[in-house]
A and B are shown apart, each in its own frame.
Chain A
Amino acid sequence: MEAYLDNSATTQLCEEAIAEMTDMLKNNFGNPSSLHKVGTKAHLSLQSAREAVAKKLGCEAKEVYFTSGGTQSNNIAVLGAVNALSRRGKKIVTTAIEHPSVEECMKALEKRGFEVVRLMPENDGKISVEALKNAIDKNTILVSVMAVNNEIGSIQPVNMIKPIIQKAGSPALVHTDCVQAFGKIPVSPSKLGADIISISSHKIHGPKGAGALYVRKGIRLLPEVYGGGQENAVRSGTEPMPAIIGFSAAVNALPDIKAEFEQVKHIRDYFLDKIKKEEAITVNSPEDALPYIINISVEGLRSEPMLNLLSDMGIYVSSGSACAKGHKSKVLESLGFEDDRIDSALRISLSRFTTKQEMDYLFEGIKKCQAQIRKK
């Protein structure tokens, strides 16, 4: 048996994406910018892909820009917004637990003289509304807060940001990294009060190499990508059509969010029930976290040998987040956990295809690890 439980790192392609991509690769190779028939065919596919993503987000097609993925979306959003608003203020508010594609932009902006305030989560893994209120002022030009944390699954109060900005009389734009949230909880500009939203294809059973950015109409970003002006000059470069088509196929294949959420929550709770009786296992994810992400620590056992032994059994999970191999998790650190607990953290991430049998198999696997691996 195998159990792929690392869906926050990446997901398996859904059949719909494979079918549409294969057709695209074989029969539709044109450059959407070409004016002839071959180009027009590709252009029309690009348009319908854009409409599919827009429909899911509840926005207009012209507000959706395709990118190469979550990292590029976040880079364009953060740098593009700050470049556009740099004359109106010098302060940026974000969190201490953002993905590196946001955090590294922040570091670059600090070097350019911007003040970056990084809010720490409380011990429920969330940024407090109070902290946001205190941080956002008239000098703030961007607030960037992820919707769901990629390591522990805590859901951030993104919808509270816009009212706070308005009350403070700040010109700030709201950006939210919804890479882990999209397709799992309702992600729409109106619900989140967001001006810019980053999403990615390969976390929702689409291919790697595509993502999208929602930018509210009327907002002009000044991103640092120069070229042929594709995607309304937000992201120049010939569109990677097969990846974009696979992305839109995966978006169209997303089931009803509420039903899927309940189904995954049921499986998560089933697993949490099982480990509740195990004294050596502690849950690091907060109770109200996104049920797709379960972060646990097994007392005394370091993540890496656990991960290796589970992998030998055909069970695939991750230690911390796969994007930052070998670095101590900042998120767990900011929650005030001791080093030993952080050293032992495993992230189990589910998808709509995850079954109870897989969770049973994982549970057995953990028990085997406990019997076999020597404590450090």
Chain B
Amino acid sequence: MKEIILIKNGELALKGLNRSSFEDKLVKNIRRRLKSIGDFDYKKSQSTIMIEPKNEDTDLDEVVEAISKIFGIACFSRAAAIKKDMQEIMPATVEYLKDELSLASTFKVNAKRSDKTFELKSPQICEELGGYILDHFPNLSVDVHNPEIIVTVEIRDNYAYIRGGQIKGAGGMPVGTGGRAAVLISGGIDSPVASYMMAKRGIELTAIHFASPPYTSERAELKVVQLLQQVSKYSGRMSMLVVPFTQIQEQIKDNCPEELFTLIMRRAMMRTANIIAQKQNCAALITGESVGQVASQTISALACTDAVAQMPVFRPLIGMDKDEIVAISRKIETFDISIQPYEDCCTVFTPKHPKLKPSIEELEKAEELIPLDSLIEKAIEEVKIIPIFANKE
């Protein structure tokens, strides 16, 4: 039996004239993600995307797993493609959905007929198929208002498609329809979650990671690669730009007042990210900050870091509690990677008593003590680029 995937677009259907370009983007994203699994035919019609494996051996479980992580899909389903003949449709339905049907107690049949030349009309299809199912599953009765299972039959141009329950998609918008932004990623719990949330709104990601060898290790960098690979199962492929940050941190440590270390460092990161983001055609920056989590994330501290950014800074976690962030990181399976205990660049030199309400003026004055611009320029020259793919792309 030939099995296919049917995708119904959620929010996309609302987008009026843009719809077709959004759909094109979505199909492109799906194509790229499924490339390593097999060869497929893609068809679009009436806000439905049909994916048909060219080879019957293709592992559809793997396809379902991949598709459930692609943004821009509200829900989707597996369906059997059957010859358009009631004598074939009926036994095929019973065979295809036997596991689901034998475990349920109520059902209804839903028929759609876009091929108006088909021998039966929709209510007749429901009646015949419903009766056939009842004959084969004594455990079932019909409930048209609140059925456990809806058996859907769609009579289209080439085939009749049969499907049972729907699978929930990842929601959101197709990645790439929202432009491009650069995310500052450290290796902690928060930034992968922030990346995921912005990708969900259709934003394509570029990742910027600050490395401070020997204070941070090769393992810390590998950990970030691993985190981004996991994120890219949702966001699609991206580049990770590794910025050597040791010299800047050491200069700050050697020359600036201790209580301001963290903020000067974060401002230096923001300045650096800003320049890199512009070069990479990003229109915004993304961070995993949330108000009050640590001293550098008070409102006034955030204002100080924002002051050096020349583009919008998105902080999707800004109003979230740690346990809410952790819940998402567990869902997207980044949590276990994040908690590997390697030092990251943010904790290399932490002042004993960081200033909670710093002013921009005093930070600017402290920053004059080091040649920040030339240090940043040098760091950017030495940026290393690592391509990130979802494991199987």
Identify the A interface with B (CB < 8 A): 304-309, 311-312, 325-327, 372-374, 376
- Which one of A308, A312, A326, A327 contacts B216 once the chains associate, using CB atoms below 8 Å? A308
Q: Bound complex: CA of A304 vs CA of B342, how far in Å?
A: 9
B382 CB–A CB distance under 8 Å? no
Closest to A372 in B: B214
Candidate in A309, A325, A374 with the most chain B CB atoms within 10 angstroms? A374
Task: Write the nearest CB–CB distance from A126 to chain B, whole angstroms.
Answer: 30
Q: Bound complex: CA of A373 vs CA of B250, how far in Å?
A: 9
Candidate in B214, B217, B341 with the most chain A CB atoms within 10 angstroms? B214
Once A325-B341, A326-B341, A326-B342 are accepted as A-B contacts, the answer to whether A374 and B214 lie under 8 Å apart by CB is no
State whether B215 touches A308 (Cβ < 8 A). Answer: yes
State whether A374 touches B341 (Cβ < 8 A). Answer: no
State whether B213 touches A308 (Cβ < 8 A). Answer: yes
Q: Bound complex: CA of A309 vs CA of B218, how far in Å?
A: 11
Q: Bound complex: CA of A304 vs CA of B215, how far in Å?
A: 7
- Which one of A304, A311, A325, A374 contacts B349 once the chains associate, using CB atoms below 8 Å? A374
Once A325-B341, A326-B341, A326-B342 are accepted as A-B contacts, the answer to whether A374 and B250 lie under 8 Å apart by CB is yes
Q: Bound complex: CA of A249 vs CA of B325, how far in Å?
A: 52
Closest to B216 in A: A308
Question: What mask results when residues 330 to 345 of chain B are scored 1 for a CB within 8 Å of chain A, else 0?
Answer: 0000000000111100
B266 CB–A CB distance under 8 Å? no
Interfacial chain B residues near A374, Cβ < 8 Å: 250, 253-254, 349
Interfacial chain A residues near B253, Cβ < 8 Å: 374
Q: Bound complex: CA of A304 vs CA of B218, how far in Å?
A: 11
Question: What mask results when residues 198 to 224 of chain B are scored 1 for a CB within 8 Å of chain A, else 0?
Answer: 000000000000000111111000000
Q: Bound complex: CA of A325 vs CA of B215, how far in Å?
A: 16
The 5 closest A-B pairs by CB, nearest first: A326-B341, A308-B214, A309-B214, A305-B215, A305-B214
Interfacial chain B residues near A373, Cβ < 8 Å: 214-215
- Which one of A306, A312, A325, A327 contacts B213 once the chains associate, using CB atoms below 8 Å? A312
State whether A308 touches B217 (Cβ < 8 A). Answer: yes
- Which one of B217, B250, B254, B340 contacts A304 once the chains associate, using CB atoms below 8 Å? B217
Knowing that A308-B217, A374-B254 are A-B contacts, what are 20 other residue pairs whose CB atoms are under 8 Å apart, sorted by A's residue number? Answer: A304-B215, A304-B342, A304-B343, A305-B343, A308-B215, A308-B216, A308-B218, A309-B213, A311-B214, A311-B218, A312-B213, A312-B214, A325-B340, A325-B341, A326-B341, A327-B341, A372-B214, A373-B214, A374-B250, A376-B349
Interfacial chain A residues near B217, Cβ < 8 Å: 304, 307-308, 311
Interfacial chain A residues near B343, Cβ < 8 Å: 304-305
Task: Write the nearest CB–CB distance from A271 to chain B, whole angstroms.
Answer: 22
Q: Bound complex: CA of A312 vs CA of B216, how far in Å?
A: 12
Task: Write the nearest CB–CB distance from B211 to chain A, whole angstroms.
Answer: 11
Interfacial chain B residues near A305, Cβ < 8 Å: 214-215, 343
Candidate in B215, B216, B342, B349 with the most chain A CB atoms within 10 angstroms? B215
Identify the B interface with A (CB < 8 A): 213-218, 250, 253-254, 340-343, 349
Interfacial chain A residues near B218, Cβ < 8 Å: 308, 311
Closest to B249 in A: A374
Task: Write the nearest CB–CB distance from A67 to chain B, whole angstroms.
Answer: 28
Closest to A324 in B: B341
Closest to A373 in B: B214
Task: Write the nearest CB–CB distance from B251 to chain A, whole angstroms.
Answer: 10
Task: Write the nearest CB–CB distance from A65 to chain B, whole angstroms.
Answer: 34
Q: Bound complex: CA of A327 vs CA of B341, how far in Å?
A: 8
> What are some 27 contacts across the A-B interface (CB < 8 A)?
A304-B215, A304-B217, A304-B342, A304-B343, A305-B343, A306-B214, A308-B213, A308-B214, A308-B217, A308-B218, A309-B213, A311-B214, A311-B218, A312-B213, A312-B214, A325-B340, A325-B341, A326-B341, A326-B342, A327-B341, A372-B214, A373-B215, A374-B250, A374-B253, A374-B254, A374-B349, A376-B349
Q: Bound complex: CA of A263 vs CA of B216, how far in Å?
A: 36
Q: Bound complex: CA of A308 vs CA of B254, how far in Å?
A: 21
Q: Bound complex: CA of A259 vs CA of B253, how far in Å?
A: 49
Interfacial chain A residues near B254, Cβ < 8 Å: 374
Closest to A307 in B: B217
Interfacial chain A residues near B342, Cβ < 8 Å: 304, 326
Q: Bound complex: CA of A306 vs CA of B217, how far in Å?
A: 10
Q: Bound complex: CA of A312 vs CA of B340, how far in Å?
A: 21
Closest to A312 in B: B214
Task: Write the nearest CB–CB distance from A282 to chain B, whole angstroms.
Answer: 21
Q: Bound complex: CA of A326 vs CA of B347, how far in Å?
A: 14
Q: Bound complex: CA of A308 vs CA of B246, how far in Å?
A: 13
Task: Write the nearest CB–CB distance from B255 to chain A, whole angstroms.
Answer: 11
Task: Write the nearest CB–CB distance from A364 to chain B, whole angstroms.
Answer: 16
Candidate in B217, B253, B349 with the most chain A CB atoms within 10 angstroms? B217
Interfacial chain A residues near B213, Cβ < 8 Å: 308-309, 312
Q: Bound complex: CA of A309 vs CA of B212, how far in Å?
A: 11
Q: Bound complex: CA of A77 vs CA of B349, how far in Å?
A: 44
Closest to B212 in A: A305
Task: Write the nearest CB–CB distance from A362 to chain B, whole angstroms.
Answer: 16
Interfacial chain B residues near A376, Cβ < 8 Å: 349
Q: Bound complex: CA of A325 vs CA of B219, how far in Å?
A: 12
Q: Bound complex: CA of A372 vs CA of B212, how far in Å?
A: 13
Task: Write the nearest CB–CB distance from A224 to chain B, whole angstroms.
Answer: 26
Q: Bound complex: CA of A362 vs CA of B216, how far in Å?
A: 20
Task: Write the nearest CB–CB distance from A247 to chain B, whole angstroms.
Answer: 29
Closest to A310 in B: B214
Q: Bound complex: CA of A304 vs CA of B349, how far in Å?
A: 13
Q: Bound complex: CA of A306 vs CA of B343, how far in Å?
A: 12
Q: Bound complex: CA of A70 vs CA of B254, how far in Å?
A: 46
Q: Bound complex: CA of A305 vs CA of B342, how far in Å?
A: 11
Task: Write the nearest CB–CB distance from A129 to chain B, whole angstroms.
Answer: 37
Q: Bound complex: CA of A374 vs CA of B214, how far in Å?
A: 10
Q: Bound complex: CA of A326 vs CA of B217, how far in Å?
A: 13
Task: Write the nearest CB–CB distance from B114 to chain A, whole angstroms.
Answer: 59
Task: Write the nearest CB–CB distance from A220 to chain B, whole angstroms.
Answer: 40
